Protein backbone atom coordinates (compact mmCIF):
# COMPACT_ATOMS: atom_id res chain seq x y z
CA UNK A 1 0.00 0.00 0.00
CA UNK A 2 2.82 2.37 0.90
CA UNK A 3 4.48 1.70 -2.47
CA UNK A 4 1.25 2.54 -4.33
CA UNK A 5 1.01 5.85 -2.46
CA UNK A 6 4.61 6.69 -3.38
CA UNK A 7 3.93 5.90 -7.06
CA UNK A 8 0.79 8.06 -6.99
CA UNK A 9 2.68 10.93 -5.32
CA UNK A 10 5.48 10.75 -7.90
CA UNK A 11 2.92 10.76 -10.72
CA UNK A 12 1.22 13.79 -9.22
CA UNK A 13 4.54 15.65 -9.02
CA UNK A 14 5.27 14.86 -12.68
CA UNK A 15 1.83 16.12 -13.71
CA UNK A 16 2.36 19.37 -11.76
CA UNK A 17 5.79 19.90 -13.36
CA UNK A 18 4.40 19.27 -16.85
CA UNK A 19 1.52 21.65 -16.20
CA UNK A 20 3.95 24.33 -15.08
CA UNK A 21 6.13 23.82 -18.15
CA UNK A 22 3.07 23.92 -20.44
CA UNK A 23 1.88 27.12 -18.78
CA UNK A 24 5.28 28.72 -19.31
CA UNK A 25 5.30 27.70 -22.97
CA UNK A 26 1.84 29.13 -23.64
CA UNK A 27 2.77 32.36 -21.89
CA UNK A 28 5.86 32.71 -24.08
CA UNK A 29 3.70 32.39 -27.19
CA UNK A 30 1.50 35.24 -25.92
CA UNK A 31 -1.88 33.91 -27.15
CA UNK A 32 -3.56 37.05 -25.77
CA UNK A 33 -1.42 39.46 -27.83
CA UNK A 34 -2.24 40.31 -31.43
CA UNK A 35 0.12 42.31 -33.63
CA UNK A 36 0.01 43.63 -37.19
CA UNK A 37 2.25 45.47 -39.64
CA UNK A 38 0.26 47.50 -42.16
CA UNK A 39 1.01 49.42 -45.32
CA UNK A 40 -2.04 51.62 -45.85
CA UNK A 41 -3.85 52.29 -49.08
CA UNK A 42 -3.30 55.58 -50.91
CA UNK A 43 -3.83 58.51 -48.52
CA UNK A 44 -3.19 61.31 -50.99
CA UNK A 45 -2.02 61.82 -54.52
CA UNK A 46 -2.58 59.56 -57.51
CA UNK A 47 -0.83 56.30 -58.51
CA UNK A 48 -0.26 57.41 -62.09
CA UNK A 49 2.77 57.67 -64.33
CA UNK A 50 4.40 61.01 -63.53
CA UNK A 51 2.33 61.41 -60.35
CA UNK A 52 3.07 60.95 -56.65
CA UNK A 53 1.08 59.26 -53.90
CA UNK A 54 1.48 58.67 -50.17
CA UNK A 55 1.02 55.56 -48.03
CA UNK A 56 1.65 55.16 -44.30
CA UNK A 57 3.51 52.33 -42.60
CA UNK A 58 1.68 51.36 -39.40
CA UNK A 59 2.13 48.98 -36.46
CA UNK A 60 -0.64 47.63 -34.23
CA UNK A 61 -0.57 45.70 -30.94
CA UNK A 62 -3.49 44.61 -28.75
CA UNK A 63 -3.19 42.82 -25.39
CA UNK A 64 -6.43 41.20 -24.26
CA UNK A 65 -5.11 39.56 -21.08
CA UNK A 66 -1.85 39.00 -19.15
CA UNK A 67 0.97 38.43 -19.78
CA UNK A 68 1.13 41.87 -21.42
CA UNK A 69 3.75 42.50 -24.09
CA UNK A 70 5.01 45.94 -25.06
CA UNK A 71 6.69 47.01 -28.31
CA UNK A 72 9.84 49.12 -27.95
CA UNK A 73 11.43 48.43 -31.32
CA UNK A 74 10.24 47.99 -34.89
CA UNK A 75 12.18 46.82 -37.94
CA UNK A 76 10.30 46.60 -41.24
CA UNK A 77 11.25 45.78 -44.83
CA UNK A 78 8.84 46.78 -47.63
CA UNK A 79 9.73 45.22 -51.02
CA UNK A 80 8.39 46.93 -54.17
CA UNK A 81 8.78 46.80 -57.94
CA UNK A 82 11.33 49.51 -58.73
CA UNK A 83 10.45 49.39 -62.44
CA UNK A 84 6.95 50.70 -61.57
CA UNK A 85 7.50 53.04 -58.61
CA UNK A 86 10.35 54.79 -56.88
CA UNK A 87 10.56 56.50 -53.48
CA UNK A 88 10.71 60.28 -53.26
CA UNK A 89 13.56 61.28 -50.93
CA UNK A 90 12.00 62.89 -47.86
CA UNK A 91 14.94 65.10 -46.87
CA UNK A 92 16.04 65.91 -50.46
CA UNK A 93 19.65 65.18 -49.55
CA UNK A 94 21.34 62.81 -52.03
CA UNK A 95 24.41 62.57 -49.81
CA UNK A 96 22.66 60.41 -47.21
CA UNK A 97 20.70 58.28 -49.66
CA UNK A 98 16.97 58.04 -50.24
CA UNK A 99 14.99 58.13 -47.00
CA UNK A 100 11.35 58.14 -45.89
CA UNK A 101 9.53 60.29 -43.31
CA UNK A 102 9.73 58.70 -39.84
CA UNK A 103 6.85 59.82 -37.61
CA UNK A 104 5.73 59.92 -33.99
CA UNK A 105 2.46 58.07 -34.34
CA UNK A 106 3.02 54.66 -32.82
CA UNK A 107 5.93 55.75 -30.64
CA UNK A 108 5.52 59.02 -28.72
CA UNK A 109 8.95 59.68 -27.18
CA UNK A 110 12.24 60.75 -28.73
CA UNK A 111 12.67 58.63 -31.84
CA UNK A 112 15.84 56.56 -32.17
CA UNK A 113 16.37 55.58 -35.80
CA UNK A 114 18.58 52.59 -36.52
CA UNK A 115 17.83 52.39 -40.24
CA UNK A 116 16.04 54.61 -42.73
CA UNK A 117 16.98 53.70 -46.29
CA UNK A 118 15.76 52.58 -49.68
CA UNK A 119 17.90 49.78 -51.09
CA UNK A 120 18.14 48.18 -54.51
CA UNK A 121 17.69 44.44 -55.08
CA UNK A 122 20.11 42.14 -53.23
CA UNK A 123 21.80 44.80 -51.05
CA UNK A 124 25.18 44.14 -49.47
CA UNK A 125 23.76 44.16 -45.91
CA UNK A 126 21.85 41.30 -44.29
CA UNK A 127 18.33 41.30 -45.75
CA UNK A 128 15.23 39.10 -46.09
CA UNK A 129 15.00 36.87 -49.19
CA UNK A 130 12.17 38.96 -50.69
CA UNK A 131 14.74 41.74 -51.19
CA UNK A 132 16.99 39.53 -53.33
CA UNK A 133 15.04 40.46 -56.45
CA UNK A 134 13.09 43.57 -55.44
CA UNK A 135 14.06 46.98 -54.10
CA UNK A 136 13.13 47.49 -50.45
CA UNK A 137 12.32 50.24 -47.98
CA UNK A 138 14.14 49.42 -44.72
CA UNK A 139 13.27 51.13 -41.45
CA UNK A 140 14.28 50.37 -37.85
CA UNK A 141 13.05 52.67 -35.08
CA UNK A 142 12.59 52.80 -31.30
CA UNK A 143 12.05 55.60 -28.82
CA UNK A 144 13.26 56.84 -25.46
CA UNK A 145 11.01 58.37 -22.86
CA UNK A 146 7.41 58.83 -23.85
CA UNK A 147 5.04 56.12 -22.69
CA UNK A 148 7.70 53.39 -22.81
CA UNK A 149 6.85 50.01 -24.40
CA UNK A 150 3.63 50.30 -26.42
CA UNK A 151 1.00 47.78 -25.32
CA UNK A 152 -2.35 48.72 -26.94
CA UNK A 153 -2.17 50.99 -29.95
CA UNK A 154 -2.29 51.32 -33.71
CA UNK A 155 -0.13 54.10 -35.08
CA UNK A 156 2.05 55.32 -37.92
CA UNK A 157 5.80 54.79 -37.80
CA UNK A 158 6.55 56.31 -41.22
CA UNK A 159 5.06 57.86 -44.35
CA UNK A 160 6.29 56.91 -47.81
CA UNK A 161 5.87 59.13 -50.86
CA UNK A 162 5.94 57.06 -54.04
CA UNK A 163 6.44 58.30 -57.59
CA UNK A 164 4.90 56.41 -60.50
CA UNK A 165 7.37 55.75 -63.33
CA UNK A 166 5.64 53.05 -65.42
CA UNK A 167 2.23 51.35 -65.60
CA UNK A 168 1.84 48.14 -63.62
CA UNK A 169 1.34 46.62 -60.14
CA UNK A 170 3.60 47.98 -57.40
CA UNK A 171 3.94 44.50 -55.80
CA UNK A 172 4.23 45.83 -52.25
CA UNK A 173 4.69 43.37 -49.39
CA UNK A 174 5.93 43.14 -45.80
CA UNK A 175 9.05 40.98 -45.99
CA UNK A 176 9.51 37.92 -43.74
CA UNK A 177 7.21 38.93 -40.85
CA UNK A 178 8.53 37.71 -37.52
CA UNK A 179 11.82 36.43 -38.95
CA UNK A 180 15.46 37.49 -38.72
CA UNK A 181 16.41 39.13 -40.99
CA UNK A 182 12.95 40.43 -41.76
CA UNK A 183 10.10 42.49 -40.34
CA UNK A 184 9.66 42.11 -36.60
CA UNK A 185 8.77 43.78 -33.31
CA UNK A 186 10.90 43.83 -30.18
CA UNK A 187 10.30 44.06 -26.44
CA UNK A 188 12.32 46.37 -24.19
CA UNK A 189 14.52 43.40 -23.25
CA UNK A 190 15.29 42.54 -26.88
CA UNK A 191 12.83 39.68 -27.19
CA UNK A 192 11.00 39.04 -30.47
CA UNK A 193 7.25 39.62 -30.53
CA UNK A 194 5.41 37.41 -33.05
CA UNK A 195 3.78 39.23 -35.97
CA UNK A 196 0.27 37.80 -36.31
CA UNK A 197 -0.79 39.51 -39.52
CA UNK A 198 0.30 41.88 -42.26
CA UNK A 199 -1.64 43.99 -44.74
CA UNK A 200 -0.54 45.57 -48.01
CA UNK A 201 -2.80 47.16 -50.63
CA UNK A 202 -2.88 46.03 -54.24
CA UNK A 203 -1.93 49.34 -55.87
CA UNK A 204 -1.44 49.58 -59.62
CA UNK A 205 0.15 52.55 -61.34
CA UNK A 206 -2.00 53.66 -64.27
CA UNK A 207 -1.47 55.81 -67.28
CA UNK A 208 -2.42 59.33 -66.26
CA UNK A 209 -5.58 61.06 -67.39
CA UNK A 210 -6.03 64.81 -66.96
CA UNK A 211 -8.92 66.88 -65.62
CA UNK A 212 -8.75 70.56 -66.55
CA UNK A 213 -10.90 73.57 -65.75
CA UNK A 214 -11.00 77.15 -64.51
CA UNK A 215 -11.92 78.40 -61.02
CA UNK A 216 -12.53 82.12 -60.55
CA UNK A 217 -13.20 83.95 -57.29
CA UNK A 218 -16.05 86.44 -57.04
CA UNK A 219 -14.83 90.01 -56.43
CA UNK A 220 -11.13 89.04 -56.16
CA UNK A 221 -8.77 91.97 -56.71
CA UNK A 222 -5.65 89.79 -56.61
CA UNK A 223 -6.30 87.36 -59.46
CA UNK A 224 -7.40 83.75 -59.06
CA UNK A 225 -4.21 81.89 -58.10
CA UNK A 226 -3.80 79.34 -55.29
CA UNK A 227 -7.33 77.96 -55.16
CA UNK A 228 -7.11 74.32 -54.09
CA UNK A 229 -8.68 71.73 -56.38
CA UNK A 230 -8.91 68.06 -55.43
CA UNK A 231 -10.25 64.95 -57.19
CA UNK A 232 -11.97 62.44 -54.90
CA UNK A 233 -12.76 58.82 -55.70
CA UNK A 234 -16.12 57.16 -55.06
CA UNK A 235 -14.76 56.11 -51.63
CA UNK A 236 -13.80 59.76 -50.93
CA UNK A 237 -10.05 59.14 -51.01
CA UNK A 238 -7.87 61.73 -52.72
CA UNK A 239 -6.86 60.81 -56.28
CA UNK A 240 -5.24 64.07 -57.37
CA UNK A 241 -4.59 67.61 -56.19
CA UNK A 242 -3.66 70.91 -57.82
CA UNK A 243 -3.76 74.68 -57.32
CA UNK A 244 -4.94 77.25 -59.81
CA UNK A 245 -2.80 79.69 -61.76
CA UNK A 246 -3.34 83.47 -61.71
CA UNK A 247 -6.00 83.04 -64.37
CA UNK A 248 -7.76 80.28 -62.41
CA UNK A 249 -6.64 77.41 -64.66
CA UNK A 250 -5.80 74.02 -63.18
CA UNK A 251 -4.73 70.59 -64.41
CA UNK A 252 -5.25 67.43 -62.31
CA UNK A 253 -3.48 64.13 -63.07
CA UNK A 254 -5.66 61.12 -62.10
CA UNK A 255 -5.83 57.43 -63.00
CA UNK A 256 -7.88 56.75 -66.14
CA UNK A 257 -11.01 54.61 -66.08
CA UNK A 258 -12.56 56.03 -62.90
CA UNK A 259 -15.24 58.51 -61.86
CA UNK A 260 -14.34 61.47 -59.64
CA UNK A 261 -15.86 64.31 -57.66
CA UNK A 262 -13.96 67.58 -58.05
CA UNK A 263 -13.92 70.05 -55.13
CA UNK A 264 -12.49 73.59 -55.17
CA UNK A 265 -12.05 75.93 -52.19
CA UNK A 266 -10.31 79.10 -51.07
CA UNK A 267 -10.34 80.98 -47.72
CA UNK A 268 -13.45 83.18 -47.43
CA UNK A 269 -15.39 81.38 -50.19
CA UNK A 270 -17.95 78.60 -50.42
CA UNK A 271 -16.72 75.32 -51.85
CA UNK A 272 -17.66 74.40 -55.42
CA UNK A 273 -18.23 70.82 -56.54
CA UNK A 274 -18.50 68.86 -59.76
CA UNK A 275 -19.70 65.25 -59.48
CA UNK A 276 -19.59 62.33 -61.88
CA UNK A 277 -16.44 63.28 -63.79
CA UNK A 278 -15.51 60.14 -65.73
CA UNK A 279 -11.96 60.02 -67.04
CA UNK A 280 -11.56 57.53 -69.85
CA UNK A 281 -9.36 59.41 -72.32
CA UNK A 282 -6.34 61.62 -71.98
CA UNK A 283 -8.02 64.93 -71.05
CA UNK A 284 -11.44 65.86 -69.67
CA UNK A 285 -12.42 69.54 -69.33
CA UNK A 286 -15.05 70.42 -66.72
CA UNK A 287 -15.29 74.08 -67.67
CA UNK A 288 -15.47 77.21 -65.53
CA UNK A 289 -16.89 77.89 -62.07
CA UNK A 290 -16.86 80.96 -59.82
CA UNK A 291 -16.48 80.61 -56.06
CA UNK A 292 -19.05 82.56 -54.01
CA UNK A 293 -17.46 84.93 -51.45
CA UNK A 294 -18.37 85.83 -47.89
CA UNK A 295 -17.73 82.65 -45.88
CA UNK A 296 -15.48 84.35 -43.33
CA UNK A 297 -16.08 81.58 -40.75
CA UNK A 298 -15.17 78.87 -43.28
CA UNK A 299 -18.10 76.63 -42.42
CA UNK A 300 -19.43 76.52 -46.00
CA UNK A 301 -22.37 78.84 -45.31
CA UNK A 302 -22.85 82.62 -45.32
CA UNK A 303 -24.95 84.07 -42.50
CA UNK A 304 -25.04 86.75 -39.82
CA UNK A 305 -21.97 85.33 -38.09
CA UNK A 306 -19.87 86.00 -41.20
CA UNK A 307 -21.22 89.58 -41.37
CA UNK A 308 -20.39 90.16 -37.70
CA UNK A 309 -16.88 88.74 -38.13
CA UNK A 310 -16.13 90.99 -41.11
CA UNK A 311 -17.42 94.05 -39.22
CA UNK A 312 -15.19 93.18 -36.25
CA UNK A 313 -12.14 93.53 -38.54
CA UNK A 314 -13.50 96.48 -40.53
CA UNK A 315 -10.86 99.03 -41.55
CA UNK A 316 -7.91 96.87 -40.54
CA UNK A 317 -5.07 95.89 -42.84
CA UNK A 318 -4.08 92.36 -43.75
CA UNK A 319 -1.98 90.87 -42.26
CA UNK A 320 -2.67 90.37 -39.35
CA UNK A 321 -6.25 90.18 -40.62
CA UNK A 322 -7.09 86.50 -41.33
CA UNK A 323 -7.17 85.89 -45.10
CA UNK A 324 -10.68 84.46 -44.93
CA UNK A 325 -11.99 87.82 -43.61
CA UNK A 326 -10.31 89.87 -46.36
CA UNK A 327 -12.62 88.28 -48.91
CA UNK A 328 -11.32 90.02 -52.04
CA UNK A 329 -7.60 89.82 -51.12
CA UNK A 330 -6.92 93.55 -51.49
CA UNK A 331 -5.06 93.80 -48.15
CA UNK A 332 -7.75 95.58 -46.12
CA UNK A 333 -11.18 94.73 -44.71
CA UNK A 334 -13.61 97.31 -46.05
CA UNK A 335 -17.04 97.82 -47.59
CA UNK A 336 -16.10 95.67 -50.58
CA UNK A 337 -15.68 92.58 -48.38
CA UNK A 338 -18.84 93.39 -46.46
CA UNK A 339 -20.99 93.81 -49.55
CA UNK A 340 -19.73 90.55 -51.07
CA UNK A 341 -20.88 88.72 -47.94
CA UNK A 342 -24.14 90.68 -47.71
CA UNK A 343 -24.93 89.99 -51.36
CA UNK A 344 -24.53 86.24 -50.81
CA UNK A 345 -26.35 86.14 -47.47
CA UNK A 346 -28.10 82.79 -46.93
CA UNK A 347 -26.12 80.87 -49.53
CA UNK A 348 -24.23 77.69 -48.66
CA UNK A 349 -21.89 75.24 -50.30
CA UNK A 350 -20.84 73.24 -52.03
CA UNK A 351 -22.15 75.17 -55.01
CA UNK A 352 -22.67 73.42 -58.32
CA UNK A 353 -19.83 73.73 -60.83
For residue range 314-345, list pLDDT tens digits in order.
999 867 899 999 999 999 999 999 999 999 99
- Range(s) within the chain of domains with CATH label 2.60.40.680: 32-205
How confident is the model at residue 96, as a pLDDT?
A: 92
Residue spans in the chain of domains classed CATH 2.60.40.4130: 208-352
Model pTM score: 0.65
**CA distances to 29, 71, 74, 148, 324 from 67, in Å:** 10, 13, 20, 17, 54
What pLDDT shows up at residue 282?
78
Residues 6 or more apart from 299 whose CB is under 8 A from it? none
Across the range 175-203, mean pLDDT stands at: 95
By the 10 Å C-beta count (0-12 exposed, 13-18 middle, 19+ buried), 219 is classed as: buried
Pairwise CA distance, residues 219 & 266, whole Å: 13
For residue 239, the model assigns a pLDDT of 87
Q: What is the pLDDT of residues 219-264, one digit of tens each?
A: 999 999 999 999 999 888 888 899 999 999 999 988 888 899 999 9
Mean pLDDT (whole number) for 1-15: 39
CATH top-level class of 208-352: mainly beta
Task: Give the separation between CA 229 and CA 231, rounded to whole angstroms.
Answer: 7
Rounded distance between C-alpha atoms, residue 149 and residue 59, angstroms? 13
Going by C-alpha positions, the residue among 234, 236, 242, 235 that lies closest to residue 208 is 242
32-205 in CATH: which number? 2.60.40.680
Q: What pLDDT score was predicted for residue 8?
A: 36
Amino acid sequence: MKKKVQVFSLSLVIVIILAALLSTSVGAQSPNTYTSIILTDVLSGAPVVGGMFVTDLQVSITNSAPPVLGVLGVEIWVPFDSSVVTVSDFDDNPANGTQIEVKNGFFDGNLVIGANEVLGPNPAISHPPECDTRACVHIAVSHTGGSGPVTDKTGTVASITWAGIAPGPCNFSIASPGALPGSFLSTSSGGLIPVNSTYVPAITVSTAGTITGVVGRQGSLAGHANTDVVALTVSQSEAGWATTSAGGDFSLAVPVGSTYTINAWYPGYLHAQKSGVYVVGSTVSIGHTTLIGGDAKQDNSINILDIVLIISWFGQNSPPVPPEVDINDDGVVNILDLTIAAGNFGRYGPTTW
